Amino acid sequence: MRKKSGSYFSMYEKERKKINEKIKKLLVAREPASLYNPGSYILESSGKRLRPLLVLFSARAVGEKKTGFYNASVAVELLHNFTLVHDDIMDNADKRRGLPTLHKKYDTSTAILVGDSLLSVAYELLLKDVTSKCKPVISDFNKGLVEVCEGQSLDKDFETRAEVKLPEYLIMIRKKTAAMMEMCCSIGAQLGGGSKIEISALSKYGRNLGIAFQIQDDLLDIIANEAEFGKFVGGDLVEGKKTYLFLKALEKSTGKDKSLLKNIIKNKGIKKTEIPFYRDMYNRLGVIDDARKEVKKYTKRALSSLKVLKNQNDREYFTWLADYLINRNK
């Protein structure tokens, strides 16, 4: 497996570059420029392109080797960016992937309209790859969109609630993060002609990988190397976000620790200078180790669903991808 890691990374990068090229050209010739130039701007920072790659490789894992379904893969990336544009507006975020957010660079009205247009173009692209026999693909795409919106709504609700339980948090991230990855695997497998068993298995892989991915994000926010992370570590605490680690700490703490954590909710965050203190508290309470164990648990669940894939290389690729994502440093 280690010998093949380099070749799997090369495959990943090769397809990521193809997707980037398609996205780069997608909105250039469209009018009006006042709508599509800001759309191109938000798509410029490529990121991991994880979601479109899940579509491509899920299709290939069930036997599709020729078509590629690049339209569908780009469609899910546009859907993802649609959600990010609107999330940034709701969070009043200044930066996204190191660049000014769309509503900061332009204005809020433009950002709302651009987000809507990205969703519209996403459906336009998806329909190019969907045959009359693939109605469930549209259904799953819609379901992914609905669940992301539900997850974001829950996330916003949590900001104003004095008490949130870990099971509620897991429901939220399953909808906000994991549902999209589950959908990508599902529609890729469907477009590739996969059996019901293969479609179900890859969907489970996406769902569990998505949950692990989000908890790993929560973990990185407190333990990452700031230079590699690309933003200051501890931002979730400063913003008073109810992440897996925070809720686990609240669950395990007693006495003064619990009072201090409850004050974070009351004060809607902490000062940057307090981050080391709360990082030490997390370590002392064991919640950093708890989060690592949770990431491993959901990753293991994701990998266990791959047994139904016939081709060993496909199983190994998805195993490599999970390892690559969960051991990332940003």
**Residue 161 region by backbone torsions, left for phi larger than 0, else alpha for psi between -120 and 50, else beta:** beta
Range of 81's domain? 2-326
Q: What is the pLDDT of residue 229?
A: 64
pLDDT at 230: 60
pLDDT band at 228 (very low <50, low <70, confident <90, very high): low
The mean per-residue pLDDT over the stretch 250-276 comes to 96
Confidence of residue 330 (pLDDT cuts 50, 70, 90): low
pLDDT greater than 60 at residue 320: yes
- pLDDT, average across residues 190-199: 95
pLDDT tens digits, one per residue of 96-128: 877 889 999 999 999 999 999 999 999 999 999
Q: Please check the confidence at residue 227 and state whether its pLDDT lies above 70.
A: no
Question: What percentage of residues in the chain have a pLDDT greater than 90?
Answer: 81
Percent of the chain at pLDDT above 70?
95
Q: Please give the pLDDT value at position 154.
A: 94
Q: What is the pLDDT of residue 202?
A: 98
Tell me what percent of the chain is helix, strand and coil, each rounded to the nearest 5.
Answer: 80, 0, 20
- pLDDT category, 95, cuts 50, 70, 90? confident
Is residue 144 pLDDT above 90, yes or no? yes
Locate tokens 């489970």: which residue?
204
Q: Are 191 and 127 in contact (CB under 8 A)?
A: no
Short-list 67, 321, 83, CA closest to 185: 321
Least confident range of 21-25, 29-33, 225-229, 324-328: 225-229
Confidence band for 286, pLDDT divided at 50, 70 and 90: very high
- Count of structural domains, the chain: 1
CA 104, 107, 112, 113 dihedral sign is negative
CATH label of the domain that carries residue 30: 1.10.600.10
Average pLDDT value for residue range 163-188: 96
pLDDT in tens, 39-85: 999 998 767 899 999 999 999 999 887 777 999 999 999 999 999 99
The model's pLDDT over 122-134, given as tens digits with 9 standing for 90+, comes to 999 999 998 766 7
| Mean pLDDT in residue range 289-296 | 97
Supply the mean pLDDT for the chain: 92
Model confidence at 29, pLDDT cuts 50, 70, 90, reads: confident
Strand, coil or helix: 62: coil
Which two structure tokens, joined as six digits, stand for 264?
Answer: 């974070």
Assign 254 a pLDDT band (cuts: 50, 70, 90): very high
Both tokens of 77, joined, read 């990336």
Residue of higher predicted confidence among 316 and 93: 316
- Identify the bridge partners of residue 38 per DSSP, sorted by sequence position: none
Mean pLDDT, range 187-197, rounded to an integer: 95
Residue carrying the six token digits 């050209």: 25
Structure tokens at 313: 């290389």
Give the pLDDT confidence score for residue 233 in this predicted structure: 84
Averaged over 256-263, what is the pLDDT? 97
Closest to 39 in 3D by CA, of 151, 114, 146, 110: 114
The answer on pLDDT for 1 being more than 60 is no
pLDDT number for residue 231:
67
What average pLDDT does range 6-11 have in this prediction? 90
